[in-house]
């Protein structure tokens, strides 16, 4: 490693890096992928070496000016102090990356430094955010501890050094993690059981001005649960788990009537501050940790939370035309479910990864696409992008760009490459490698600076930011490297790790837990702590810490595990009793909520992929270019990127010539073939939203999916049965001459067939249910409701054969039984 390497030398090396580059030729042979991994590793080495040469032991290195960067000691209220506290952040957040990159020499060096400085590392008079400290520092320490104590490193030459390091390791990282935990846990000293967002590491809660602690966010309240529970389980000190699970459940029970959680809350009054929700900033990792927590701890109640929350998101947030169309999850009012903004944020790109983990592959592909389009146009994901804007396509480019990009920075956030990695592991579609290839080449050509990697200060102008947050290496480069590890060479992908049930934390630290290891660890920890306290009372448990523990335990004596148990929902009884299935000729059915218990393994639009050689499923997806049509005013390429057209002559990832030619090589190309390579025209039909009955939480009124029917039954497999008609419906309005979401032209015949009772005029229309309470319906499925459910309202008219008219309009796929 070249710590003292002057910037000039790096500048000289840059051209040779790009010379190494494959010319965007999409072979993705084992040799090619190995080369891409090597190139990604060079980016890591450049960043890490720069940090060690110019940043260490500060928290970060500034990638343009090559200076160390840490907390602001003058202005304590500076938000940058949320994550920076002079605690060797780059090192702690990247310990596991050193394992991934097999940088054993570096690992040994930084472990030695941490060992020597452990007594004072967190004794910092700075105000930090519990959330950031949790995910970056505590997660980093816990994971490194697990890697050093709970991995059966094979007896192979490449692991000889790490086996040695493990043997020498005395468990000090867990002591450090505990020290940190004890400093952070005062945040939970509230009457409401919701934590304060910030603490002072050295002086506790009292040293934090109240205005810095009067607002916290849903992610801040729920996310600590996973890392803190792990800390409890590994140390045997249950306070961390008890307090954080209590807050998790408390906030879950504060969800709105629609089952939605707002973004920010006052922890003292336990009152929501806003009534907006989305899947991005401030609320993102609540969903993420409901799924991941359920995996790490095998907790079914967390999984149930996720399924309910997910149904609510599908009902109220999901915006798409047809059931196979790109979907974006907008921001809505938690009370009414109405859309309240026309932007989505960069953090929301993680969502597709969680959808993959939750087994919803088709949904994941549909929500990932819009972020790929952002890369197509901006070579980045702007912090906030507007899908709708006031501009028209005739307005000047600058004006369109101004209206399209609401927050203009891109600090090299990892979320898009993170979900790309998940999607590739789940589908093996080469399009995801192509995305990785483009990102790698943009990083090499645009974001690589003298001392690391610098993202955009302004996506619109191309101005760079003199900051490299720790997630750039710790998440982005890690996911990129693992994406190219198709051969499963990295230890995380190897069989000796597959029994661990590990899952990446929100900060990309792979975490896992087994009770067997937990009890062994807790016993060992107690013994070590006991010895330490005996020998070094003063430095290990300061008076403030001891007194806090005492008060907290008094509180816990009354607020014990039973308080959490009361809030935990039992897995609901999902059996149907009120539908006479036999009379309806239905032999098998499934409650909609329990459909989440099965993983989807072959996403629909990629179905053909399994039969085809050298073909990306994307080229069979008819809606691939729908976003261009739909968002033509806000997907616009800024001038500075147009000037760089030499670097990326064709900015569409999915149309990179080499890739397109390779991965459509065996696709049918003539018109008569079933999979003729052609995209559908964007639908011209309009959509409308309506609420029938009481728009309650998704679990309030169970709905069912028909699985198997008698021949005589009017129902068909996949039909939706709603014994109570209640909730939000998305309808497509089909008018004469329009093109619908299935690419069908609405002709007189179509309307006449649907409504034989009516004279077809230019104004005739037919409605179609696209989605009912988040469940996809569309043209080929019918929603059935009981006649009883429609009796008490004038809104509906039922024809003799069970068709339903809503205020005079006919819904083609809606029937009563």
Residue pair 670/662 in contact by the 8 Å Cβ criterion: no
Closer to ligand DMJ at the Cβ: 511 or 816? 511
Residue span binding ligand DMJ (CB under 6 A) among the ranges 107-115, 386-394, 413-421, 590-598: 413-421
Residue span binding ligand DMJ (CB under 6 A) among the ranges 137-145, 166-174, 358-366, 411-419: 411-419
Residue pair 135/506 in contact by the 8 Å Cβ criterion: yes
- What CA–CA distance (Å, rounded) separates 375 from 627? 13
Given 315, 362, 434, 506, the residue binding ligand DMJ (CB under 6 A): 506
Buried b (16+ CB within 10 A) or exposed e, 98-110: bbbbbbbebbbeb
- What CA–CA distance (Å, rounded) separates 448 from 468? 11
Closer to ligand DMJ at the Cβ: 66 or 135? 135
Given 59, 96, 485, 507, the residue binding ligand DMJ (CB under 6 A): 507
162, 167, 168, 171: CA torsion to nearest 10: 100
Integer-rounded Cα Rg, in Å, for the chain is 28
Number of residues that bind ligand DMJ (CB under 6 A): 10
Which are the contacts of 788, defined by CB distance < 8 A and separation ≥ 6? none
471 is a contact residue toward ligand DMJ (CB under 6 A): yes
How many residues are recorded in the chain? 817
773 is a contact residue toward ligand DMJ (CB under 6 A): no
383 is a contact residue toward ligand DMJ (CB under 6 A): no
- List the x/- string, 76-115, binding to ligand DMJ by CB under 6 A: ----------------------------------------
Smallest distance, ligand DMJ to C-beta of residue 289, A: 10
Residue span binding ligand DMJ (CB under 6 A) among the ranges 171-179, 203-211, 412-420, 614-622: 412-420
Q: Is 506 annotated as a binding residue?
A: yes
The alpha carbon of 67 is separated from its chain's Cα centroid by a whole number of angstroms, namely 32
Task: Find, among 796, 795, 800, 806, the residue nearest to 768 by Cα.
Answer: 806
Give the other-Cβ count within 10 Å of 459's Cβ: 27
Closer to ligand DMJ at the Cβ: 135 or 175? 135
Closer to ligand DMJ at the Cβ: 416 or 784? 416
Smallest distance, ligand DMJ to C-beta of residue 157, A: 34
């459910």: which residue's tokens? 789
Closer to ligand DMJ at the Cβ: 204 or 353? 353
Please, which of residues 128-147 interact with ligand DMJ by CB under 6 A?
135
Closer to ligand DMJ at the Cβ: 93 or 654? 93
Smallest distance, ligand DMJ to C-beta of residue 346, A: 7
Smallest distance, ligand DMJ to C-beta of residue 759, A: 57
Residue span binding ligand DMJ (CB under 6 A) among the ranges 170-178, 410-418, 525-533, 675-683: 410-418
Task: Find, among 122, 84, 239, 137, the residue nearest to 539 by Cα.
Answer: 122
């049930």: which residue's tokens? 501
446 is a contact residue toward ligand DMJ (CB under 6 A): no
426, 429, 433, 435: CA torsion to nearest 10: -100
728 is a contact residue toward ligand DMJ (CB under 6 A): no
Closer to ligand DMJ at the Cβ: 230 or 751? 230
413 is a contact residue toward ligand DMJ (CB under 6 A): yes
Residue pair 205/189 in contact by the 8 Å Cβ criterion: yes
Smallest distance, ligand DMJ to C-beta of residue 412, A: 9
Closer to ligand DMJ at the Cβ: 415 or 654? 415
Smallest distance, ligand DMJ to C-beta of residue 414, A: 6
Expressed in angstroms, the distance from the first to the final Cα of the chain is 73
- What CA–CA distance (Å, rounded) separates 370 from 365? 10
Catalytic residue numbers, as ranges: 132, 284, 383, 415
Smallest distance, ligand DMJ to C-beta of residue 465, A: 14
Smallest distance, ligand DMJ to C-beta of residue 402, A: 24
Coil/strand/helix, residue 335: coil
239 is a contact residue toward ligand DMJ (CB under 6 A): no
- What CA–CA distance (Å, rounded) separates 529 from 154? 30
Please, which of residues 280-299 interact with ligand DMJ by CB under 6 A?
285
Buried b (16+ CB within 10 A) or exposed e, 338-369: eebbbbbbbbbbbbbbbbbbbbbbbbbbbbbb
Tokens of 448: 């690589």
Smallest distance, ligand DMJ to C-beta of residue 637, A: 24
DSSP 267: T
The alpha carbon of 359 is separated from its chain's Cα centroid by a whole number of angstroms, namely 13
**CB under 8 A, 24+ apart: contacts of 372-377:** 372/416, 372/435, 372/653, 372/654, 373/627, 373/628, 373/631, 373/635, 374/416, 374/635, 375/416, 375/435, 375/438, 375/439, 375/653, 376/635, 376/651, 376/652, 376/653, 376/654, 377/635, 377/636, 377/637, 377/651
Residue span binding ligand DMJ (CB under 6 A) among the ranges 407-415, 527-535, 625-633, 686-694: 407-415
Closer to ligand DMJ at the Cβ: 285 or 813? 285
Buried b (16+ CB within 10 A) or exposed e, 262-283: bbbbebbeeebeebbbbbbebb
Smallest distance, ligand DMJ to C-beta of residue 200, A: 21
- What CA–CA distance (Å, rounded) separates 732 from 766? 8
421 is a contact residue toward ligand DMJ (CB under 6 A): no
Closer to ligand DMJ at the Cβ: 353 or 638? 353
List, as residue ranges, the binding site for Ca(2+).
506
Chain residues that interact with ligand DMJ, rule: CB under 6 A: 135, 285, 347, 413-415, 471, 475, 506-507
Which residues are part of a known binding site? 506
């Amino acid at each position: 490693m070249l710590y003292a390497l002057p910037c000039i030398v790096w500048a000289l090396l840059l051209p040779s890096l790009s010379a190494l580059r494959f010319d965007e030729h999409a072979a993705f042979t084992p040799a090619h992928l190995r080369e891409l991994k090597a190139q990604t590793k060079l980016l890591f080495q450049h960043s890490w070496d720069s940090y060690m040469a110019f940043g260490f032991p500060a928290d970060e290195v500034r990638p343009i000016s090559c200076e160390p960067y840490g907390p602001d000691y003058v202005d304590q209220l500076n938000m940058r102090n949320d994550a920076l506290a002079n605690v060797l952040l780059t090192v702690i957040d990247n310990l596991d990356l050193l394992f991934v990159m097999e940088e054993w020499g570096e690992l040994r060096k930084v472990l030695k430094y941490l060992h020597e400085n452990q007594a004072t590392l967190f004794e910092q008079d700075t105000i930090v955010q519990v959330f950031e400290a949790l995910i970056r520092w505590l997660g980093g320490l816990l994971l490194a501890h697990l890697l050093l104590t709970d991995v059966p490193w094979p007896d192979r030459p490449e692991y000889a050094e790490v086996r040695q390091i493990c043997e020498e390791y005395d468990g000090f990282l867990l002591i450090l993690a505990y020290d940190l935990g004890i400093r952070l846990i005062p945040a939970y000293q509230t009457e409401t059981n919701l934590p304060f967002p910030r603490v002072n590491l050295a002086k506790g809660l009292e040293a934090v001005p109240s205005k810095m602690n009067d607002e916290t966010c849903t992610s801040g309240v729920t996310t600590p649960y996973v890392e803190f529970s792990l800390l409890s389980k590994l140390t045997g000190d249950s306070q961390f788990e008890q307090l954080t699970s209590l807050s998790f459940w408390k906030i879950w029970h504060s969800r709105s009537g629609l089952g939605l959680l707002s973004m920010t809350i006052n922890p003292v009054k336990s009152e929501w501050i806003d009534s907006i929700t989305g899947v991005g900033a401030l609320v993102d990792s609540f969903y993420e940790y409901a799924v991941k927590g359920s995996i790490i701890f095998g907790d079914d109640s967390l999984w149930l939370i996720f399924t309910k929350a997910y149904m609510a998101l599908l009902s109220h947030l999901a915006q798409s035309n047809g059931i196979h169309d790109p979907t974006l999850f907008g921001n809505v009012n938690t009370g009414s479910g109405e859309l309240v903004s026309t932007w989505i944020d960069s953090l929301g790109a993680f969502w597709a990864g969680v959808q993959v983990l939750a087994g919803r592959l088709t949904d994941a592909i549909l929500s990932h696409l819009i972020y790929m389009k952002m890369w197509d146009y901006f070579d980045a994901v702007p912090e906030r992008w507007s899908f709708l804007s006031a501009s028209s396509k005739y307005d000047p480019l600058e004006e369109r760009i101004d209206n399209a990009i609401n927050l203009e920075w891109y600090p090299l956030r990892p979320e898009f490459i993170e979900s790309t990695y998940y999607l590739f592991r789940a589908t093996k579609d080469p399009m995801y490698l192509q995305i990785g290839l483009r990102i790698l080449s943009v990083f090499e050509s645009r974001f690589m600076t003298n001392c690391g990697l610098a993202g955009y200060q302004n996506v619109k102008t191309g101005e760079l930011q003199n900051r490299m947050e720790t997630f750039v290496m710790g998440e982005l480069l890690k996911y990129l490297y693992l994406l190219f590890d198709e051969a499963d060479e990295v230890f995380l992908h190897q069989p000796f790790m597959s029994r661990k049930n590990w899952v990446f934390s929100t900060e990309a630290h792979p975490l896992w837990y087994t009770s067997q290891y937990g009890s062994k660890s807790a016993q060992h920890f107690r013994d070590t702590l006991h010895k330490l306290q005996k020998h070094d009372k003063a430095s290990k448990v300061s008076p403030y810490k001891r007194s806090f523990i005492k008060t907290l335990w008094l509180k816990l004596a009354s607020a014990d595990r039973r308080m959490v148990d009361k809030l935990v929902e039992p897995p609901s009884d999902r059996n149907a009793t009120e539908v006479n299935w036999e009379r309806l000729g239905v032999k098998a059915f499934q409650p909609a909520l329990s459909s989440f218990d099965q993983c989807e393994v072959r996403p629909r639009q990629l179905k053909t992929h399994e039969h085809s050689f050298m073909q990306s499923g994307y080229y069979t997806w008819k809606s691939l270019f729908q976003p261009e049509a739909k968002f033509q005013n806000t997907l616009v390429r800024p001038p500075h990127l147009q000037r760089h057209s030499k670097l990326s002559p064709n900015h569409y990832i999915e149309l990179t010539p080499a890739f397109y030619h390779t991965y459509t090589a065996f696709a049918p190309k003539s018109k008569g073939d079933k999979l003729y390579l052609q995209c559908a025209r964007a639908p011209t039909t309009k959509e409308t939203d309506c609420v029938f009955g009481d728009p309650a939480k998704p679990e309030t009124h169970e709905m069912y999916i028909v699985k198997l029917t008698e021949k005589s039954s009017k129902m068909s497999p996949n039909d939706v049965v709603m014994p109570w008609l209640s909730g939000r419906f998305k309808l497509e309005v089909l008018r004469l001459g329009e093109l619908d979401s299935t690419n069908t032209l609405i002709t007189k015949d179509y309307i006449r067939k649907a409504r034989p009772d009516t004279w077809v005029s230019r104004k005739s229309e037919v409605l179609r249910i696209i989605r009912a309470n988040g469940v996809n319906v569309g043209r080929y499925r019918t929603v059935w409701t009981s006649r009883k459910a429609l009796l008490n309202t004038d809104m509906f008219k039922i024809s003799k054969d069970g068709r339903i008219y809503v205020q005079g309009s006919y819904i083609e796929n809606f029937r009563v039984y």
